Structure 1
Amino acid sequence: MSSRLPAATNQSEQSFSDPANPTPNPALISDDARIDFWAAQASRLDWAEPWHTTHRFEKPQVIGEDQDGNPTYSVPEIAWFEGGKLNVAHNCVDRHVEAGRGDHVALYFEGEPGDRLVYTYADLQREVARASHALTDLGVVKGDRVVIYLPVIPETVIMTLACARIGAIHSLVFGGFSAEALKFRVEDTGAKVLVTTDGQNRRGKVVPVKVNADEACSGDNQIEHVVVVRRTSRPGNKQLAAGTRGARSNDELEVPWTPGRDVWWHDLIKDAPTVHTPEFFDAETPLFIIYTSGTTGRPKGLVHTMGGYLVQTAYTHALLFDLLPDTLDDDGALRPDELSMVNDPAKVDSTVHWCTADLAWVTAHTYEIYGPLVNGVSEVIYEGTPNTPHPGRHFEVIERYGVTNYYTAPTLIRSLMGAFPHGIPQIYNFSSVRLLGSVGESINPEAWRWLRSQIGRDQVPFVDTWWQSETGSCVASPRPHDPQFAPPGTFAAGTPGTSPKPGCATRAIPGVSVRVLDESGEPVETGHQGLAVVDKIGPSMARTVWGDPQRYLSSYWQQYGERGWFLAGDGARLDDDDDLYILGRVDDVINVSGHRLSTIEIESALVTHPLVVEAGTTPVEDPLTGHAVLACVVLTPAGAEVSATQLHDELCAHVTREIGPIAKPREVIAVPDLPKTRSGKITRRLLAQLYHNQPLGDRSSLQNEEALDAIADVMSARRS
């Protein structure tokens, strides 16, 4: 099937390279240029039918008043490529096979115990076909929801693509979540099928998982079938009618079973055909529901649709991870053509991409499943934790598969810094690595420098990406071959952007635009903190909150009302070069005597001290100043040797030197770990609630809920 691209419906009179506006970003030229740009980028995909309308955006409008006289607004409506039809799985798998690349590796899988598998694109096509037939045999049709509660294994990718292929809406759930968190998602989506495993390999142990699935299905839900992937049990193990806990080894894992509802994955697919004819769906057909981390209240199920999401995902993956063809600019520097609509085949063939996120996180949806596969590169998926069986496991994976792109989270980088305080041993070969990236929270400059020095040899580009579950794909980032990574002497000293800026998202990608505003919508002064706002959206923006469109309005669009600007919820500032720094969630701002302090900035100062591996700061009540700074720190071995008084004095003096006396913590408390979501975000509000001995809010999305008990014990000991 060939790609068919209709003429753009909004023609701009200005070129993307208008000399009067030298930026290559079409969003900064005009709305027409922006829409034309995304219409052109859509030619990256195969379309069965062309679209009739490139973009439609019904901004919120005042429709009345509430009881207090405040305006009420209509819910925004967003659509891209309406009328166009495509199949997401065809674009990610079949078309590469049809182009003669069936033998190219799609997936390198490594399990925590050391088992390994390789899937070519032809292999993946056959497995997705079998899974598509299996889901259809279970009665799953377009629009049905399938919750996928699996670890990072090939079946997770295969089932995800199978859902996309038949038009089912998938919702991936981190395999380490509790039964309570899973139950919420099963019930909120109204899922027909739940896919899980018998057990999981986690930190060197086998953990039973099927019991969580059974508990999640015990309430009021629409589940008709539970599909079980055999990962840790042995064939022939007893299947029990009632749940059992306490697995000890693979041979002893007993799997609870509900006859008639539960079905083994291998039984379901063993006779399924290996060829499947895809159906093509309207671009605005829902593709998946991704739940926000729940750091501030009940998780929201964000809905992403097929066409717009895949267009922006395909482009941004190619842009950020250096797949675009190179061109020479006026300075003679070699750079990718940021506006190209095609990839460089040699770059695609030589790329081995590894996004270290769990597949249930939106980063992995975009830059570990759909982005790499739609662009036809090889990717690594790794089941285990980075320190199992030892802290250098990731380095082994990089070396074994020749990873070229290493895209990870600041939390993981900081943990590696703690594990290797004197640097990574020279026994590992990182010569394959040609690009680094970070995602999740804003990266501390010290972690940026460490990763680029230790794995990137102080040579490779570092793309510090800023985006969210809501935006679906990247909004702002430096790009490969950016002038900041040019060899010394290539550009004149003092030229904006020519020096590396650790922890800086630099600027919006082509096709979108970002502003930093105050609460009234006015630009803030350079260097001052404001609110990050996406004022020109791209096609991958979430369309709504599942089952609650009013929450979509109130959470993201209402503050700027009829202007139609998306409120990201992050604090930000611009520097003198108009480059963008993200300062963390606005919920995490600490207001000390009227001074607004960013938690990220204080934490970044703390982790540069040799006694500290990781830091989480949060506002706590203070009768005089309103807020005071509480710093919870994870210590290096050297830090664990000093007294609490010495630790407090040293770190307060360090923060005073780095930021100023207004930012120094009132209290410094050493803790074993910090509570984090699976995306690596520190759940700072829980630190404050533990400190004040208050009831904890939502914690269903934590990856390490056990950390709360340890922190509670530390806080209790301080109060006694």
Structure 2
Amino acid sequence: MTDRIPTPPSVLSRLRYDPQADIDRARHDPDGFWLDEARSYEWTREPTTGLTWNRPEHGWFADGETNITLNALDRHARGEARTRAALIWLSETEEPQVLTYGMLHERVQRAAAGLRALGVGVGDRVVIYMPLTPEGCIAMLACARIGAVHSVVYAGLGVSALRDRITDAGARVVVTADVGHRRGKLVDLYAIAAEAVADLPQVEHLVLWERIKTFSREHDVRTVAWESLFTHGRAPAVPVPAEHPLFVLYTSGSTGKPKGVVHAHGGYMVGVAYHLKALFDVHPGDIFLCTSDIGWVVGHSYIVYGPLVAGATVLFREGAPDFPDPGVLWRTIERYGVDVLFTAPTALRLFMKLGEEVLKPYDLSSLRVIACAGEPLNPEAWRWAQEHVGGGLGEEAHGIVIDNWWQTELGAPTLGTHPRWPARPGYAGRPLAGVEADVVDEAGNSLPDGTQGQLVIRRPFPSMLRGLHGNPEKYASLWNANPAGYLSGDLAVRDEHGYFSILGRADDVLSVAGHRIGSADVEDALVSHPAVAEAAVIGIPDELKGESIVAHVILRAGHEDSPGLCASITEHVRRELGPIAAPGAVHVVPSLPKTRSGKIMRRLLRAQALGQDPGDLTTLEG
């Protein structure tokens, strides 16, 4: 067993929040705990009830009334935070734009009034197909302000994916831009949006933000200029019930069409802001850098709503973390004195592949927390990041790398390793305040520590989804497929200290000679080889074993493909996990197929190996 690694005292002295009292109270009085958290925010009618639950339906603060923008904007703009930076945005070429809380409040009020002038009202759906810019954030907040329900579609998905989401959401208005920037190239977003709505009479208006004004084209007759939204005065925040939908965000599983996850104003607000403080240790005035996109749940929770509700300053940039050069992320951290970084394991593995020389020119000592989520964070990547981003594990350490696990459906961190807790690399951590997680069998029985099983959430918490848009049967199945509670779809194992390791999706489990092996276990073993930067494994049919493991690996700089190296990698896995987990084949590849949010699409590798139809590829990274 890997020993737990304590947080260096030099880092502990920099942390501001200890959540243990919260965890203890939430265990004994979850309703009271969450109600107290809720009452620290602004309500037009303060709630008196916590959880209402008639499985599978549940809600939080149901008798309360608010609007998330009252807490994300108005309460800050009225006070001393008015001149504090709310958003710091960098273009792909590192040109900055800063919006204070006062400035952002003003722009959101005007954009909201413009949407209202287009006929958008409470409960109407608006699809937002925008690049990662302040305007995208403003569009989201403007919808929320008037009680409309936004659905952000990542500005990289194609025509059919966008059309399907507009249709499913029943959107009357689509907001887009002329172009996005990606690795020095322009992406014609308007052409995609115009084609997507061309045969959709339900769409009444296509709002266009023109960034460069050099494209000569014929506009869809429904096109409205973004600037025209700002000519209708200011819209006040519309009070809505706490359970009023805030947004629908579509997420793709391994099979089937994307499902529209619904989150609500009240519980989502309380949950995402709480974990920014309690897990990520972000407080008013801190600089919080998030490398996600508003097209994904992390961008919703920790670029837009969480930091703004908490009164922090969020820093984000358009473009890849290694473009225009591999030093841009680290240069940004040094330039702005970033306190907390939230990124993905994929990004850390990218820089591990490039080598620590990329980081050495930059002063990263402002960082006290480096949070990681999205894919399992393998031990090798954790150790590399702790050494080269966090400053090591001795007195010279300035920051700590923490893992956490959640989903689009859960809205906010659910399992995590708090910066004050010892880390166990390869384990996401323990249940956070108010979370009742368990590892169970298919009958809902709790499994002993060290036994692999299904990861479930036994009791709702505030930031969880309230439904799947237009699909109540599918939503009910999330709660009813396992008697123990909400079925995450992930496999996990728990150790004797209560730490959970996420082994991968249930459909990513390998079955070799009757043994169930999590794909994440094999991938962790592969990337612990000194030549391997990133890996993905699949199972292919084998007459003798049932399945044979095939590994696809990306090599670190300085290593070259050879039969001897592949044999060394296979033998390394054999030593780490035993003969049953040794790959039957190792393929060195230049890249792995991933979704836009950085998750490896193993089903595409499997389909390619078997000559099958790969299915829905709308979320495949271009």
Shared fold per TM-score greater than 0.5? yes
- After superposition, what is the alpha-carbon deviation per residue over 1:383-420, rounded to whole angstroms, capped at 9, x for unaligned? 01112111111111111211111110011111111112
Question: Of residues 436, 439, 455 in structure 1, which corresponds to 2:373?
Answer: 439
Q: Specify whether residues 135 and 523 from structure 1 end up closer, same or farther in structure 2 by C-alpha distance, changes over 3 A only.
A: same
Q: Are the aligned partners of 2:452 and 2:493 in contact in 1 as well (CA < 8 Å)?
A: yes
CA shift for structure 1 position 453: 1.3
1:443-486 CA distances to partner (integer Å, 9 max, x unpaired)? 1111111112111112323221111111111111121323x2xx
- 2:225 maps to which residue? 264
Over residues 303-358 of structure 1, what are the superposed CA-to-partner deviations in whole Å (9 max), with x where a residue is unaligned? 111111111111111111214xxxxxxxxxxxxxxxxxxxxxxx422x10011101
1:679 aligns with one of 594, 597, 600: 597
Q: Is the 8 A contact 2:87 2:98 kept in 1?
A: yes
Change (3 A) 1:653 1:154: same
Shift in alpha-carbon separation, 1:125–1:551, aligned structure 2, 3 A: same
TM-score (structure 1 length as normaliser)? 0.81
Q: Distance in 1 between matches of 2:389 and 2:21?
A: 34
Deviations 1:143-192 (A, max 9, x none): 11111111110001111111110001001111111111111111110101
**2:537–2:551: 8 Å Cα contact kept in structure 1?**
yes
**Is the counterpart of residue 57 in structure 1 residue 37 in structure 2?**
no
Tell me how far apart the structure 1 counterparts of residues 163 and 518 of structure 2 sit (CA, whole Å). Answer: 35
Does residue 118 of structure 2 align to residue 118 of structure 1?
no
Is 1:614 the counterpart of 2:613? The answer is no
Distance, in Å, in 2 between the alignment partners of 1:455 and 1:637 is 19
What's the offset of the Cα at 1:279?
1.5
Q: SS state of the match for residue 481, structure 2? A: helix
Deviations 1:71-111 (A, max 9, x none): xxxxx211111121101111101101112210001011100
Q: Distance in 1 between matches of 2:23 and 2:59?
A: 24
Written as runs of structure 1 = structure 2, the 5 A alignment for 1:448-463 is 448-458=382-392, 459=397, 460-463=399-402
- The one-letter code sitting in structure 2 at the alignment partner of 1:155 is E
- 2:446 corresponds to 1:523: yes
Aligned pair 1:559/2:481, yes or no? yes
Please name the residue that 1:224 is paired with.
Answer: 204
Give the superposition deviation at 1:263: 1.6
| Aligned-partner Cα distance in 2 for 1:191–1:451 | 42
Structure 1 residue ranges without an equivalent (≥5): 1-16, 60-75, 242-256, 324-346, 485-499, 705-720
Identity %: 41
3-state SS of paired residue (2:107):
helix
| TM-score, length basis structure 2 | 0.93
* Residue 5 of structure 2 is aligned to residue 25 of structure 1: no
- Counterpart of 2:284 (choices 348, 356, 360) is 348
Cα distance between partner residues in 2 of 1:439 and 1:170: 24
Q: Supply the distance in 2 between the matched residues of 1:523 and 1:221 (Cα, whole angstroms).
A: 51
- Give 1:221 deviation, angstroms: 5.2
Tell me, yes or no, if structure 1 residue 105 matches structure 2 residue 105.
no
Counterpart amino acid of residue 311 in structure 1: V
Paired residues of 2:22 and 2:433 also in contact (CA < 8 A):
no
**3-state SS of paired residue (1:581):** strand
Between the aligned partners of 2:570 and 2:535, the Cα distance in structure 1 is: 13
- Structure 2 residue runs of 5 or longer lacking an equivalent are 1-17
Deviation at 1:208, TM superposition (A): 1.3
Alpha-carbon distance in structure 2 between the residues aligned to 1:702 and 1:292:
12
1:642 aligns to what?
A: 561
Residue 213 of structure 1 aligns to which amino acid in structure 2? A
- For residue 384 of structure 1, the aligned residue among 319, 322, 327 is 319
Structure 1 Cα separation of the partners of residues 32 and 596 of structure 2 = 37
Which among 339, 361, 366 is matched to residue 404 of structure 1? 339
User: What amino acid is the match of 1:606?
Assistant: L
Per the TM alignment, residue 54 of structure 1 is displaced from its structure 2 partner at its CA by 2.2
For residue 371 of structure 1, report the CA deviation from its aligned partner.
0.6
Aligned residues of 1:647 and 1:668 also touching (Cα < 8 A): no
Which residue of 155, 158, 182 maps to 1:175? 155
Question: Aligned partner of 2:407: which letter?
Answer: Q
Deviation at 1:514, TM superposition (A): 0.5
Matched residue, 1:502: 425
| Corresponding position of 1:3 | none
- What do residues 2-34 of structure 1 show as CA deviations (whole Å, max 9, x unaligned)? xxxxxxxxxxxxxxx9xxx999334533xxx11
Q: Does 1:415 align with 2:411?
A: no
Select the residue among 545, 560, 569 that pairs with 1:651.
569
Residue 4 of structure 2 corresponds to none
**Matches for 1:284-299 after TM superposition, within 5 Å:** 284-299=243-258
Aligned twin of 2:63:
83
> Once the 2 structures are TM-superposed, how far is the Cα of residue 127 of structure 1 from its aligned partner?
0.7
Is the CA contact 1:172–1:360 (under 8 Å) kept in the aligned structure 2?
yes
**What is the root-mean-square deviation in Å for CA atoms of aligned residues?**
1.8
1:305 pairs with one of 261, 264, 285: 264
Larger radius of gyration: 1
Contact kept, 8 Å, 1:462 with 1:478, in 2: the verdict is no
Could you say which residue in structure 1 is the equivalent of 2:505? 585
In structure 1, the partner of 2:11 is: none
Q: The residue matched to 1:177 in structure 2 has which SS?
A: coil
**Is the contact between residue 27 and residue 536 of structure 1 (CA under 8 Å) also seen in structure 2?**
no
What's the CA shift for 1:679?
2.1
Amino acid in structure 1 at the alignment position of 2:417: P
1:332-371 correspondence runs (5 A):
347-349=283-285, 351-371=286-306
How many angstroms apart in 1 are the aligned matches of 2:370 and 2:320? 19
Is 1:41 the counterpart of 2:37? The answer is yes
